[in-house]
Amino acid sequence: MRRPARQGDVGGQGHGPLAHVVHAAPGARAGGAGRAALLLQPCRPQRARHRHWPQPWIPLCVRWRRAVVHPRHGDGAPHPWCALRVGRSDANATAAELSTPAADLLPVQRKATFTYRLMRSVLLPVFHALFVFQVKGRRNVPKGQAFVLIANHLNWLDSFVITASFPPQPRLHFLGDPYLLQTRRFQWRFIRSIGGYIPVNNRQGSGPALYQHVDKCLQRGGRVALYPEGHYGSAEGELGEFKKGFAHFALKNGVPVLPVGLSGTKDLWLRKKILVFVGEPIDPTGMTVEQLVVEGRERLAALLPAYRDPRGPRLLRRRLTTLF
């Protein structure tokens, strides 16, 4: 008599706990040999066609703020562990929109927090031990004034270099792609603990919330830093096309634009020399958005020197270049 299907069976073929005594071996007969084969032949359970793990990690606060959809299944099938939604849910939103952190996720302020100062006091000696920093043009930094900082982008070290080159207060707030927040748990915990980060969705745009949050930062006396290219540059000393966001921020709030050129951060190794060039601030008064974009790109390009790859040993090059 055929036993009824049990929990864990796949396709009615009996892949439950006693599957090894239910299935006969291929070619087994009803005789004694067949019965022995029936008892001894194991049956390997079929592997599931889809595995939920591993998957991109999504911050808990993002799951609270918005519904999260499984990245492989799409809109129609939420992942089991995020099926319970807390707060606003939008059935018409796409998976990418639902899992993208909001632009106003973290607070903005002029004052440097205790955690931020502690991070600087701990990490800056480490970076100075790993690399050789040289900053030129510190006198060009507006004192006690809000501004929009623009810089070329070469590698993960750029934001740390800029942070180390400016005083802790007024606070710098970096605009960045939130993709790292969704896929790299350590980076998200680190950024959230020290703040100074405004998520920007480069793929779909962040909408009016981004402009409102940046305006709030500048009006409170904070400083905004961004990379107008929107991605890593292709080589040292070269600039791509600029996006217009920084010009809109500066013109709307009446704050200057400060160009900062970085050199030596594309490839990293132990004790490599990193150069930071701070240019004169650009007064946006009387300019249009297009004029300010052109002026900002020309000023920044003039700061970048002709790069020559230094000679000598390149210790820990691969590890340091791809650390984050």
Can you give the pTM of this predicted structure? 0.68
- Do residue 189 and residue 88 come from a single domain? no
Q: What is the pLDDT of residues 189-219, one digit of tens each?
A: 777 777 788 888 766 666 788 888 899 999 9
Same domain assignment for residues 163 and 93: no
Q: Angle, nearest 10°, between helix axes 208-219 and 245-253?
A: 50
Q: Which residue has the higher pLDDT, 120 or 107?
A: 120
Structure confidence by residue, pLDDT tens digits, 129-169:
999 999 999 999 999 899 999 999 999 999 999 998 999 88
253-256 contact pairs (CB < 8 A, 24+): 253/146, 253/215, 253/218, 253/219, 254/284, 254/285, 255/145, 255/146, 255/147, 255/148, 255/218, 255/284, 256/142, 256/145, 256/147, 256/148, 256/281, 256/282, 256/283, 256/284
Omega before residue 56 within 30° of 0, cis: no
Phi-psi region of 146 (alpha: psi -120 to 50; beta: other; left: phi over 0): beta
Mean pLDDT of the chain: 75
Model confidence at 101, pLDDT cuts 50, 70, 90, reads low
User: How many structural domains are present in the chain?
Assistant: 2
Task: From 73, 99, 125, give the residue that closes a domain.
Answer: 99
68 found inside a domain: yes
Residues 294-323 have a mean pLDDT of 92
In this structure, the answer to whether residues 81 and 223 fall within a common structural domain is no
When pLDDT is cut at 50, 70 and 90, the band that residue 225 belongs to is very high
Task: Decide if 262 contacts 152 (C-beta within 8 A).
Answer: yes
Residues 71 and 123 in one domain: no
Q: What pLDDT is recorded for position 191? A: 75
Q: Name 220's Cβ contacts closer than 8 Å, sequence gap at least 6.
A: 108, 109, 110
Residue 202's identity, in one-letter code, is N
Do residues 144 and 187 share a domain?
yes
Domain contains 230: yes
Residue 18 and residue 6: Cα distance in Å, rounded? 10
32 belongs to a structural domain: no
Checking if the pLDDT of 113 tops 60, the result is: yes
Q: 46 vs 262, which has greater pLDDT?
A: 262
The arithmetic mean of pLDDT across residues 221-237, rounded, is: 92
Q: Does 252 map to a domain?
A: yes
Q: Residues 187, 281: one domain? A: yes
Q: Do 89 and 208 sit in the same domain of this protein?
A: no
Would residue 84 count as lying in a domain?
A: yes
Place 181 in a pLDDT band, splitting at 50, 70 and 90: low
Of the three residues 72, 99, 126, the one that is the final residue of a domain is: 99
Both 145 and 246 in a single domain?
yes
Q: Which band of pLDDT confidence, cut at 50, 70 and 90, is reported for residue 86? A: very low
Q: Residue 195 CB: number of other CB atoms within 10 A?
A: 18
The tens digit of pLDDT for each residue in 250-265 reads 999 999 999 999 999 9
Domain housing 298: 114-321
- Kindly report which listed range (46-60, 114-128, 163-177, 232-246) carries the lowest average pLDDT score: 46-60
What does the pLDDT look like over 269-288, one tens digit per residue? 999 999 999 999 999 999 99
- Domain identity same for 236 and 316: yes
Last residue of a domain, one of 99, 125, 155: 99
Question: Is 61 a domain residue?
Answer: yes
Residue 62 and residue 182 share a domain: no
Arithmetic mean of pLDDT, 104-118: 81
Domain assignment present for 246: yes
Is residue 308 domain-resident?
yes
Residues 64 and 154 in one domain: no
On whether both 149 and 247 belong to a single domain, the answer is: yes
